[in-house]
């Protein structure tokens, strides 16, 4: 059996934040678990999923100013 969904679910459960950074080959199962477990999700303006609404994201940051995303990630580390 395909164990990837179970592994993804465990990773999401153990995570504080989901970074949606892939340009291609999005893992749709990951989105399902992020939403199910109400994990905050952030992305760059050029990596956010076309299949999700902007309100699904805690933040969408300009890819031209990565420091803004870094600051957001740091705020989750406090």
pLDDT at residue 13 above 80?
Answer: yes
DSSP state of 44: E
pLDDT confidence bin for 1, thresholds 50/70/90? low
Q: What is the pLDDT of residue 28?
A: 85
The string of pLDDT tens digits covering residues 22-72 is 888 778 889 999 999 999 999 999 999 988 999 999 999 999 999 999 999
- Structural domain boundaries in the chain: 4-76
What does the alpha-carbon distance between residue 77 and residue 73 come to, in Å, rounded to a whole number? 7
Report which of 18, 63, 45, 24 is spatially closest to residue 8, judged by C-alpha positions. 18
What value does the mean pLDDT take over residues 2-15?
Answer: 91
């Amino acid at each position: 059996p395909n164990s990837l969904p179970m592994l993804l679910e465990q990773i999401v459960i153990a995570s504080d934040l989901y970074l949606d950074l892939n340009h291609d080959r999005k893992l749709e199962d990951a989105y399902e678990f992020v939403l199910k477990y109400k994990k905050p999700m952030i992305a760059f303006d050029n990596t956010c999923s076309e299949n999700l609404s902007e309100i699904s994201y805690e933040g969408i940051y300009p890819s031209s100013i990565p420091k803004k995303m870094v600051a957001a990630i740091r705020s989750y580390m406090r």
